[in-house]
């Protein structure tokens, strides 16, 4: 089983129009595809998280040819969630087909960045992974970030913690260290772990750094 993480750089004329909108507007960092269902060869529905304000994005979306339905929900942090059902352009279909290889699982989110690239991660048999890379149309640039054996730790940040770090976090949760208001201090965590407070603090800091770094990298969902 293989793991693949790539960036695809589509020519501007072949990008999805709303991805191009993100590229053209500095207020938008990226849009992240969270869920997608394709109901026909040329139609799909999708849920996105868009890192940028809802108003201008909604106005631009209203003019999009092929739009069937859409709904936008603004978030307090000046981002928004988008549901859309639309006809797929030929370029959208070619891109989807490249990663629709039998046996290949595309991991979410798929990220459409403001620099014009699309970040895709996938898991599958070696042949399916290679076929996906080969199927990307030649005019699209492909940058491979990671390729190698599948590891569960790539998908679940908990598995990147050491057993002792995980034990420290679990203990902190159990004694009420993370409750609001806090019900127990670091000394209680250290007592339960049978170690000094400095050791308990270091275990928690390292675990928090790993989990929070992965959370931010993956996006706000």
Q: Which domain holds residue 45?
A: 2-152
Q: For the chain, what is the domain count?
A: 2
* Model pLDDT, residue 36: 94
* pTM for this entry: 0.72
- φ, ψ of residue 143 to 5 degrees: the values are -115, 120
pLDDT class of 145 with cuts at 50, 70, 90: confident
* 22/98 same-domain check: yes
* 55/135 same-domain check: yes
* Model pLDDT, residue 33: 95
pLDDT class of 14 with cuts at 50, 70, 90: confident
Q: What tens digit of pLDDT does each residue of 81-94 get?
A: 999 999 998 888 88
In this model, does residue 220 exceed pLDDT 60? no
CATH number, domain of 164, equals 1.10.10
Could you tell me which of 220, 213, 217 has the C-alpha nearest to residue 78? 220
pLDDT class of 150 with cuts at 50, 70, 90: confident
Residue 150 three-state SS: coil
* Model pLDDT, residue 218: 52
* 145/165 same-domain check: no
* 139/191 same-domain check: no
* Model pLDDT, residue 34: 94
> Which stretches of 82-157 are DSSP H helices?
90-98, 126-135
* 86/176 same-domain check: no
- Give the residue-averaged pLDDT of 28-51: 93
Q: 147 is written with which tokens?
A: 């390729």
CB–CB of 122/105 below 8 Å? yes
- Which residues, 6 or more positions from 36, have their beta carbon under 8 angstroms from its beta carbon? 44, 45, 46, 47
The four Cα atoms 57, 63, 64, 70 give a dihedral, to 10 degrees, of 60
User: What pairing do the DSSP bridges indicate for beta strands 141-149 and 43-50?
Assistant: unpaired
Q: What tens digit of pLDDT does each residue of 155-214 get?
A: 565 667 888 998 999 999 999 999 988 999 999 999 999 999 999 999 999 999 888 877
* 93/172 same-domain check: no
């Amino acid at each position: 089983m293989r793991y693949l993480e790539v960036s695809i750089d589509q020519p501007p004329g072949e990008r999805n129009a709303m991805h191009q909108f993100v590229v053209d507007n500095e207020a938008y960092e990226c849009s992240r595809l969270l869920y997608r269902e394709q109901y026909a060869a040329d139609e799909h529905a999708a849920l996105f998280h868009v890192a940028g304000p809802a108003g201008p994005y909604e106005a631009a979306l209203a003019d999009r040819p092929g739009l069937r339905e859409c709904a936008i929900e603004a978030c307090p942090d000046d981002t928004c969630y988008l549901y859309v059902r639309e006809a797929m352009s030929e370029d959208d279909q070619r891109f989807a087909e490249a990663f629709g290889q039998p046996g290949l699982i595309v991991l979410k989110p798929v990220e459409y960045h403001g620099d014009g690239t699309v970040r895709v991660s996938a898991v599958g048999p070696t042949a399916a992974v290679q076929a996906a890379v080969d199927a990307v149309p030649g005019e699209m640039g492909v940058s491979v970030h990671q390729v190698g054996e599948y590891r569960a730790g790539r998908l679940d940040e908990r598995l990147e913690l050491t057993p002792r770090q995980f034990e420290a976090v679990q203990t902190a949760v159990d004694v009420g260290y993370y409750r609001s208001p806090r019900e127990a201090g670091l000394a209680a965590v250290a007592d339960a772990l049978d170690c000094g407070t400095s050791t308990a603090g270091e275990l928690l800091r390292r675990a928090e750094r790993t989990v929070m770094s992965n959370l931010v990298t993956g996006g706000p969902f």
